[in-house]
Homo-oligomer: A and B are copies of this chain.
Amino acid sequence: MPALDRQGDVFVLDLGDGENRFHPDWLAAVDAALDEVEKADGPRALVTAATGKFYSNGLDLDWLFAHADQHQDYVVSVHALFARLLSLPVVTVAALQGHTFAAGAMFSLAHDFRVMRADRGFWCLPEADINIPFTPGMSALIQSRLTPRTAHEAMVTARRYGGHDALAAGIVDHTADEDAVRTTAVGIAQAQAAKAGDTLATIKARMYAPVLAALRDTANPLG
């Protein structure tokens, strides 16, 4: 389960050591961690990271198939997490040490910056292959953070981007060796810790107003 630690001004949220899919309990734990980061005072920033082969594989499809009647509420809660992270009043950096797929990849795009392991692991939006179309909110999130060309290729072809390809496509901001992924992310976060606060919150809220509105559309989240 997700666990929050603090190193200097940087909170480090470890998303887990499995596939780190979005089980409702996982979502609640991440939400509680964001509460703690948001309520803290003074300079601070957030790094999300994970342990093992996966950063996150996204939606918990096993849980979802077993609770099909809760599909809409579940998507609302995932959208709410994306919206909260996208507008968090501190700088956020995702340390992608392993596979980052589907809603896990979207979660990474809701951060301010991304550092990806250079030599192993893929960033991928497989939705076109697995017959789960992006919700309007997910589509808005992805398209707001990537160039038109990269968003189109990633969403239409389900291409698996290794670290170097993800950097070239502008999906991630840095690559690093396995050992340096988390420390690089913490370094970026520490350098931006003084930005935490209301001004940053307003800047992000205005930049992504249409995306946040789409993600918070609880009446029709599935489109």
Contacts and interface: CB of A to CB of B under 8 A. Distances in A.
Question: How many copies, total?
Answer: 3
A32 interface: no
Given A112-B156, A156-B112, A203 B149 contact: no
A149 B127 contact: no
A209 interface: yes
Interface in A197-218: 197-200, 202-204, 206-207, 209
B199 A131 contact: yes
Interface stretch (A1-9, A63-71, A140-148): A140-148
Interface in A7-63: none
A134 to B, nearest CB: 6
Interface of A: 91, 112, 127-129, 131-136, 139, 143-149, 151-153, 155-158, 170, 173, 192, 194-195, 197-200, 202-204, 206-207, 209, 223
Give the dominant DSSP class at A's interface: helix
Contacts of A134: 203, 206-207
Contacts of A144: 148
A156 B91 contact: yes
A173 B127 CA distance: 22
> Which one of A148, A149, A200 has the highest number of Cβ atoms from chain B below 10 Å of its Cβ?
A148
Given A131-B199, A157-B192, A148 B149 contact: no
